[in-house]
């Protein structure tokens, strides 16, 4: 087994940066994490920030680096134009863009866009997690990636055939903190164990359900029945997730299961809501998947650096 670094892998999102040095067999030799996300940097600072982390890891000056995420957005380091759906994940590395300002070979992977009228959508970073899943052999599945902007992605034969961004986390924050519903939700926290959560999910799964015409019931219930804050928060979360799952149900394959990539409170709420909808979930580790996706891209971009594994 080699202990020499074959490549640096970089997950550069809006609010975080992760760097790994890996050997030719994907073994992790070193790792760095930092809050120097793309959202905090001007374009001219990316090269210096990456170099400082690579130096701290003892990377050789000629070690190539593969980058995924918002660093490739228009306002990032350099724009890596989107691949379009249907987007073959194993083909993404071909569209990688060379990043300037550093002596080493740095390639930024593209995001994916969908130009379907009315369902226009974009992603940057999630496609690399999915490339990790594909390199693990998972080529046909429905994925759900909970977050401020959750993604639902259909994979067919290793290609992203269709995807949707749902502003779930952001909508929950807006409704519970800024709208009139804040008067009933206060500091209440949504809990999958609260009866109001399950009731709301079931309610929202009804084919005649309409979210916007039911939101105000949270406030009215507080006024009429004196519902507590945890109940109101759980009801809001259940209505949002139930409506989202109802919309995504037609995309479930014959296995009626969803690959859930994430961790934390929101992912737990998704898992509980999916269970109530009769949908099986498989939990996947997003950090591990992005590293695997970056590794698969590195193998495609620099085959000569992976002699033992290259086909």
Question: Which residues here bind a second copy, judged by CB under 8 A?
Answer: 82, 113-115, 118-122, 149, 152, 164-168, 170-171, 174-175, 178-180, 199, 203, 208, 210-217, 220-221, 223-225, 240, 243-244, 246-248, 250
Strand order in the sheet with 280-284: 87-88, 159-166, 150-156, 141-145, 257-261, 280-284
The least distance separating a second copy from the CB of residue 164, rounded to whole angstroms, comes to 5
CB-nearer residue toward a second copy: 240 or 261: 240
306 three-state secondary structure: coil
CB-nearer residue toward a second copy: 235 or 299: 235
Antiparallel, parallel or unpaired: β 106-108 and 97-98: antiparallel
CA distance 47 to 102: 6
CA distance 44 to 245: 41
Which helix or strand (DSSP H or E) is residue 235 part of? helix 229-248
CB-nearer residue toward a second copy: 104 or 214: 214
Look at the block and give the residue holding tokens 């994916």. Answer: 112
The least distance separating a second copy from the CB of residue 37, rounded to whole angstroms, comes to 16
Length of the chain: 311
The least distance separating a second copy from the CB of residue 197, rounded to whole angstroms, comes to 13
CB-nearer residue toward a second copy: 260 or 294: 260
The least distance separating a second copy from the CB of residue 275, rounded to whole angstroms, comes to 20
CB 297 within 8 A of CB 72: no
CB-nearer residue toward a second copy: 96 or 166: 166
What values do phi and psi take at 117, rounded to 5? Answer: -60, 130
DSSP assignment letter at 59: -
CB-nearer residue toward a second copy: 55 or 183: 183
The least distance separating a second copy from the CB of residue 233, rounded to whole angstroms, comes to 16
What values do phi and psi take at 184, rounded to 5? Answer: -100, -25
Q: Which two tokens stand for residue 12?
A: 């550069």
What values do phi and psi take at 174, rounded to 5? Answer: -60, -50
The least distance separating a second copy from the CB of residue 171, rounded to whole angstroms, comes to 6
What values do phi and psi take at 167, rounded to 5? Answer: -80, 45
CB-nearer residue toward a second copy: 64 or 262: 262
The least distance separating a second copy from the CB of residue 268, rounded to whole angstroms, comes to 20
């Amino acid at each position: 087994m080699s202990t020499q670094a074959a490549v640096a892998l970089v997950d550069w999102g809006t609010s975080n940066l992760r760097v790994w040095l890996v050997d030719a067999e994907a073994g992790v030799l070193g790792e760095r994490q930092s809050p120097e996300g793309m959202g905090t940097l001007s374009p001219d600072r990316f090269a210096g920030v990456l170099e400082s982390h690579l130096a701290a890891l003892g990377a050789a000056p000629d070690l190539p680096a593969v980058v995924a995420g918002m660093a490739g957005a228009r306002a990032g380091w350099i724009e890596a134009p989107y691949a379009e759906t249907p987007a073959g994940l194993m083909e993404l590395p071909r569209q990688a863009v060379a990043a300037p300002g550093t002596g080493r070979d740095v390639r930024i992977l593209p995001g994916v866009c969908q130009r379907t009228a009315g369902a226009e959508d974009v992603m940057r970073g999630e496609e690399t997690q999915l490339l990790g899943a594909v390199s693990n052999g998972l080529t046909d599945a429905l994925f759900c990636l909970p977050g401020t902007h959750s993604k639902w992605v259909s994979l067919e034969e290793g290609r992203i055939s269709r995807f949707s961004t749902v502003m779930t986390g952001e909508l929950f924050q807006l409704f519970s903190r800024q709208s009139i519903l804040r008067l009933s939700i206060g500091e209440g926290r949504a809990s999958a164990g609260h009866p109001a959560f399950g009731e709301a999910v079931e309610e929202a799964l009804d084919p005649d359900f309409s979210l916007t015409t039911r939101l105000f019931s949270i406030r009215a219930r507080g006024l009429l029945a004196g519902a507590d804050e945890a109940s109101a928060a759980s009801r809001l979360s259940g209505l949002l997730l139930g409506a989202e799952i109802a919309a995504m149900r037609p995309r479930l394959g014959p296995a009626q299961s969803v690959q859930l990539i994430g961790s934390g409170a929101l992912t737990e709420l998704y898992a509980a809501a999916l269970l109530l909808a009769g949908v099986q979930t498989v939990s996947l580790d997003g950090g591990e998947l992005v590293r695997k996706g970056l590794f698969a891209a590195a193998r495609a971009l620099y085959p000569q650096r992976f002699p033992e594994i290259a086909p």
